[in-house]
Every structure is written in C-alpha cells, then in structure tokens.
Amino acid sequence: MCAEFQKPRGTQDVLPPVSQKMEQIRHIALDCAQRFGYLLVETPVFEQTPVFLRVGESTDIVQHERYSFTDNGGVDLTLRPEGTAAIARAYVENGMYNQPQPVRMCYYGPMFRRERPSAMRYRQHTQFGAELYGSVQPEADAEVILLACAVVEQIGLADPVIRLNSIGCSECRPAYREALILYYQQRHDQLCQDCQKRMNTNPLRLLDCKIDVAIRERAPDIAAFWCEDCATHYRDLTQLLTSCGRQVSREPFLVRGLDYYNRTVFEINHPSMGSQVALFGGGRYDGLATTLDGPKSTPAVGFGMGIERILSAMEENFDLPLMSRIYVAHLPGFEAPSLVLAEELRRKGFAAESDLMNRSLKAQLRDAGRQSGVVVIVGGREWEQGEVGVKWLENGVQMTVKREELSDLLRQPEEKG
Ligand SMILES: [Zn+2]
Ligand SMILES: [Zn+2]
C-alpha cells in the first residue's frame, strides 16, 4: 500500500479481539465510576488552544507535543492531550460550581499527543479519568484514589500499590523550590540538557528526569518543607487509605508531569508491571478551574489512566470472557431459514450468526469452531417437523430439539448433555 494511504505514524487500528477487550474495560471503568457516583461527561475532542496553553504552559505536552491547527474560520484549535483541562473548562463554562458540591465526574475517550512513537506510546490513546470538584477534604482525595484502585481490581489486577506524595501548596512550595534549585544548581554541569532548561521553567520536574536519577537520590525531601495544613492533609489521607485496607508507599520525589498540581500527587502501580510503570496518575489541582476564569476557590482532585497500558497489563494476568456466540449452520438449500433462525435468536438476546458464504456443512462447522461454542443446524426433515439440531463443539454432544424450546436449552448451558 502507498505510504500516504497508511495510518498516521504512532497510531493504531484496534481490531478484534483487542477492541472487544477495550470495550469491556470501558464498561468496567464506567460501571465502577457510577458505583462511586462519578457520572460521564463528554467534552469535544478538540478545544480552543488557549485552554491548554493556560493550563499547562511549561509542560512538554503543551510545548512540543500538541496537535494544533487553525480551522477554516481562523480559530486556533488543539486536539485534547489529556482530560483534566477539558473537564475544568466544562465545569466552569456550565456553571457547575452552582450545583450542590462536590460534583463527581468521569470521562472516557481518545487523547492526542505528538510523542516520539514507541511500543507503549501512541499519538492517539484512550484515557479514562475521574474528577471530583468542590472539596478540599482529604476524604475527597481518598475517594478518588479508592475509585482508581477499584477499577484496577475489577479489571483483574489485585492489590494495587498507591505511590503517594504531597507537593505542598503556594505557601510552602516556594521554599522547597528554592532549595531544589539550589541543590541542582550545584550539580548543574552533570545534568542532562532537558534538566538544565527545566531548572528555570519547571524545577519540580527535575525530579521526574529518567536520566539524572542518581543526582536525585540526595535531593531535599519536600516533607521537611510542608506547612502545617499540608502535613495534616497528607497524614489524614494516608490514614484514610490504610483504614480502607489499601497499601500506600510514600514517594518523596513523585511530582507528576503537569504544572497545575498542589498537595496530593499519586500513582498506582501493580506488582506485575514493575515499579516503574504507573497504571494511573493523578492528584489535586485546586487552582486549575480558577485559571480558566472559574470562581476563586474551586478545589479539585482527579486521576487519568491510559487504557492501552491497562490492556497490556491485563493480557498476561487476566482473560476477560468474550460473549459466547451461536453459529447457525444449514444443510444445502436452507440458507434462508438459517438466517431467519439467527435473527430469531438475536431478538431473544443471544449473539448469533449464520453462514453467508453458501458453504458445505463441513466447512460451516470448521468456520464455527473458530469462535463459537454452540452450533445450531437447520435443514432436512427435522426442519420440516419444526426441529433443529444442536451441537456443543467443546464436548461433541449433539441433540435434536423443538424450535420453540431452543432458546431455553441454549440458556441452560449446564444441562448440555
Ligand atoms: Zn502547604
Ligand atoms: Zn535530566
């Protein structure tokens, strides 16, 4: 195929059965969120560019990785690189701060970043996230983190580990920033190029560097700089999570990539993935909605999770059962009745398909074996007498049943033979 007709670099076509698994993850995530009271909010996949510029000016995503374009009307638009900014915009624009607080929301959909393509990084990826607006309480942080853990568990990854830190507030963080800059300035020449730049734009992200890990080892710990409120908030949150039986590990150098966090930042890992891979990340961003012209005080906490990453964690650990399908095969000349019977079964709630290739019965059975557990055979004298054959491919059990009793039989798989 001509290169111009191929999918854009760094994107993927999600085909069955992976697409079916993705759909099941979506179902599990949204179902879990709903049980916690977080309801779906769908924002456009693009926003006016200033939304993202305002929210994450000095981040790599906004500086180098955004997909921006000017539409025919001359409006500067950007494909959303993450969900949090768009939800904040929606919260403010729809006046949701006037509703009873807190407001619990979740989102699910594609995000776009022009990253260097690699095995786990797609330029279009799917994200699920939850956002809680209106509460400064540590209980709010706890609830959001518990929801993230619940989703991970529902997907089949038991006992997730919460990596937790607090990056302080506008009162106590400046002093930490100073200490951090001082520490890194003394080691300026040993730093990678990115970090030499970060020092001036976003010093907390120095701690995020994957190259200068050894230098970080002895960097100052923000815990020593927390004001009383931040220290209490962190302590209470840890206690709440442990009271709920969750495993918490304090990570002094966890800062997260985006600018807008304050206090709580967290990641959720799973032992099966290795300690470097975060399934989820999130935190608190009390000032975010305010920067988008929201009211002065709009506390918020939330997380986002990459579905592709979850999927790769699952493939080794957990096999979600796919819906079992019924294959309606036919004897020669009975194509039409087999289609009618398949439709009859589908209307009763089964997943059913019939042969559309006019194949021999033998070829149909071979075809059925690829994806179905049960074959219903239509044709011959049985059909004239109102009966069909049923065959369970797994154990070869076969029987003839009256057409009107077929759905009852198929609903009771335990009684087969
Ligand atoms: Zn503080
Ligand atoms: Zn570095």
Distance CA 142, CA 136 (A): 11
pLDDT of 413 reads 57
Average pLDDT value over all residues in the chain: 90
Q: Which residue has the higher pLDDT, 116 or 45?
A: 45
Strands 325-330 and 351-354: parallel
The answer to whether 138 touches 199, Cβ cutoff 8 Å, is: no
Distance 233 CA to ligand 1 centre (A): 9
Distance 30 CA to ligand 2 centre (A): 37
Segments of the chain assigned to CATH 3.40.50.800: 325-415
Ligand number nearest to the C-alpha of 226:
1
Distance 174 CA to ligand 1 centre (A): 10
pLDDT of 275 reads 65
Into which CATH architecture does domain 325-415 fall?
Answer: 3-Layer(aba) Sandwich (3.40)
Distance CA 270, CA 177 (A): 31
How confident is residue 411, by pLDDT bands cut at 50, 70 and 90? Answer: confident
Each residue of 173-187: pLDDT tens digit?
Answer: 999 999 999 999 999
Structure tokens at 232: 């209490």
Distance 168 CA to ligand 1 centre (A): 4
pLDDT of 363 reads 94
Q: Is the pLDDT of residue 317 over 70?
A: no
Segments of the chain assigned to CATH 3.30.930.10: 7-172+226-317
pLDDT of 257 reads 63
Q: Is the pLDDT of residue 371 over 70?
A: yes
User: H/E/C letters for each residue in 92-144?
Assistant: HHCCHHHCCCCEEEEEEEEEECCCCCECCECCEEEEEEEEEECCCCHHHHHHH
Distance 241 CA to ligand 1 centre (A): 21
Q: Is the pLDDT of residue 276 over 70?
A: no
Structure tokens at 172: 């106590």
**CATH superfamily of domain region 7-172+226-317:** Bira Bifunctional Protein; Domain 2 (3.30.930.10)
**Over residues 268-289, mean pLDDT:** 84
- Output the pTM of the full model: 0.87
Each residue of 240-252: pLDDT tens digit?
Answer: 999 999 999 999 9
Contacts of 187 (CB under 8 A, 6+ apart): 215
